[in-house]
Chains A and B, each alone.
Chain A
Amino acid sequence: MRVALMVTCINDALFPERGRAVVRLLRRLGCEVEFPQGQTCCGQPMINSGYVDQAVPPLRAFVSAFEGYDAVVAPSGSCVGSARHQHALVARRSGDASLVQRVAEVSPKVYELSEFLVDVLGVTDVGAYFPHRVTYHPTCHSLRMLGVGDRPLALLRAVRGIELVELPAADECCGFGGTFAVKNADTSVAMGSDKAHHVRSTGAEVLVAGDSSCLMHIGGLLSRQRSGVRVLHLAEVLAATEKVSV
Chain B
Amino acid sequence: MTGTFVGMPAFPTAARDALADSQLRGNLARATGTIRAKRAAAVAEVPEWEALRAAGAAIKDDVLLHLEDYLVQLEASLTASGATVHWARDAAEACAIVAAVAKAHDADEVVKVKSMATQEIGLNEALAEAGIAAWETDLAELIVQLGDDLPSHILVPAIHRNRAEVREIFQRAMGTAGRPAPDGLTDEPAELAAAAREHLREKFLRAKVAVSGANFAVADSGTLVVVESEGNGRMCLTLPEVLVSVVGIEKVVPTWADLDVFLQLLPRSSTGERMNPYTSTWTGVTPGDGPQEVHVVLLDNGRTRALADQVGRQALRCIRCSACLNVCPVYSRTGGHAYGSVYPGPIGAILNPLLRGVGVDDQVDSLPYASSLCGACYDVCPVAIDIPSVLVELRSQVVDAHRGGLPGGEAAAMSAASWVFGRARRLAAAERVSGLTGRLATRLARRLPGPASAWTDARDLPTPPRESFRAWWRRTGGGGDA
Contact = CB atoms under 8 A, between A and B. Distances in A.
A133 interface: no
Given A39-B424, A220-B460, A144 B374 contact: yes
Interface string B258-271: 00000000000000
Contacts of B414: 45-46, 49, 51, 54
Contacts of B87: none
B473 A35 contact: yes
Contacts of A141: 375
B372 A221 contact: no
Contacts of A39: 424
B469 A45 contact: no
A43 B417 CA distance: 9
A187 B472 contact: no
A48 B469 contact: no
A38 interface: yes
A88 B215 CA distance: 36
Chain A interface size range: 35 or more
Contacts of A124: none
Residue among B15, B378, B467, B469 with max Cβ neighbours from chain A (10 Å)? B469
Given A140-B372, A144-B379, A185 B455 contact: yes
Contacts of A57: 418-419, 421-423
A191 B455 CA distance: 14
Contact of B460 (A11, A175, A223): A223
B370 interface: yes
B421 A40 contact: yes
Contacts of A162: none
Given A185-B455, A223-B460, A38 B374 contact: no
Contacts of A47: 392
B237 to A, nearest CB: 39
Interface stretch (A17-25, A99-107, A197-205): A17-25
Contacts of A180: 369, 371-373
B457 interface: yes
Contacts of A234: none
Nearest to B328: A173
Interface in A186-242: 186-194, 216-217, 219-221, 223-224
A177 interface: yes
B469 A12 contact: yes
Listed from nearest, the 8 A-B pairs whose CB atoms lie closest are: A177-B372, A220-B459, A57-B422, A50-B395, A173-B374, A54-B418, A50-B399, A16-B469
Given A50-B368, A51-B418, A194-B333, 8 more contacts: A14-B462, A15-B465, A23-B482, A35-B469, A37-B474, A57-B421, A140-B372, A140-B375
11 contacts: A21-B482, A35-B469, A46-B418, A50-B396, A61-B421, A178-B372, A180-B371, A182-B451, A185-B12, A193-B458, A220-B462
